[in-house]
Amino acid sequence: MLRTLLSRSVLQKTTSSLAARSLAARSVSCTTVSYETVLVEKHENVALITLNRPKALNSINLQLIADLNAAVMAVNEDNDVGAIVLTGSKKAFAAGADIKMMEPLSFADTYKTGLFNDLEQVTKGKKPIIAAVNGFALGGGCELAMMCDIIYAGDKAKFGQPEITLGVLPGAGGTQRLTRSVGKSKAMEMCLTGNFIDANEAKQIGLAAQVYPNEELVVKSIETAKKIASFSKIAVAMNKEAVNVAYETSLQHGLDYEKRLFYASFATKDQKEGMGAFVEKRKPEFKDE
């Protein structure tokens, strides 16, 4: 049954139906849009996406991946939205990949279907995503948080890559993104022992940008997202792109890439508005042009 679920025809059917539902998300103002495993709310110019598999502690399965991708795609096409907050529940951001789904699979099953490849689609949008992590962010949940652009942690959050305890290794970027975020030694310790780290340690080692009390986490994340969304969407996208290049490539290539984007920003009307407003000592009114 699982192999049938993973077949291409079922995945295409699921994606097609979710894409149709995503049209509704694009027209929402302040209401909640429900997918099967994801909720979407708009808070003025910010979209709040909430993982919604509470009985499974938001463990990541194919349905959640499809829903999340549809929601992120819809939000990226919504011109009113400038930034995204992705969160889970107070108990778990996402407690990992769905073990019951994976346990029966063979090498051929995972290889032919590209298991979890589609989760990477979260990284493809131009609008920045803040991961607001409460509770457990383990395995695939930690990997999903690291796919976002900023991680804010609730003070009771726990991060970890415990795949070693299941006889496998991270399969959605855990060994790669974690190493780039916290360095080889700490990443090796987390991946080889399966030990969890708390929110304060996550901030100390550079995995999380800020730590907030659990009850304030989402509000603080939305506040930051609103600030980001108040700026030129073009400039925001360029900044995100340049930082990601720094994360993924050599220093010299990154410097050259940054310079090209910097020069390109002078072709935008928002650059003229931003600098003109500074000279005239007024607040800029960006038009995203």
At 115-134, the pLDDT tens digits run 999 999 999 999 999 999 99
Is 140 tagged catalytic?
yes
Catalytic residue chosen out of the listed positions 47, 94, 96, 163: 163
Of 5-9, 101-105, 182-186, 283-287, give the lowest mean pLDDT range.
Answer: 5-9
- The matching CATH number, chosen from 3.40.50.300, 2.30.30.100, 1.10.12.10, 3.10.450.50, for 233-280 is 1.10.12.10
What predicted TM-score, i.e. pTM, was given to this entire model? Answer: 0.86
Percent of the chain predicted with pLDDT > 90:
82
Residue 42: count of CB within 10 angstroms of its CB: 19
Catalytic pick among 125, 143, 187, 199: 143
Active-site annotation holds for 143: yes
């019951």: which residue's tokens? 100
187-208 pLDDT, tens digit per residue, is: 999 999 999 999 999 999 999 9
Taking domain 2-229, whether its CATH number is 3.40.640.10 is answered by no
Spell out the domain ranges in the chain. 2-229, 233-280
163 classed as catalytic: yes
Q: Catalytic: 223?
A: no
Cβ neighbours around 33 below 10 Å, total:
21
Q: Given the residues 56, 97, 199, 225, select the one marked as catalytic.
A: 97
Alpha helix positions (H), the chain: 2-5, 8-26, 62-76, 99-102, 107-113, 140-147, 174-182, 184-193, 199-204, 217-229, 233-248, 251-265, 269-280
Q: Which of 96, 140, 171, 174 is catalytic?
A: 140
Say what the pLDDT of residue 34 is: 77
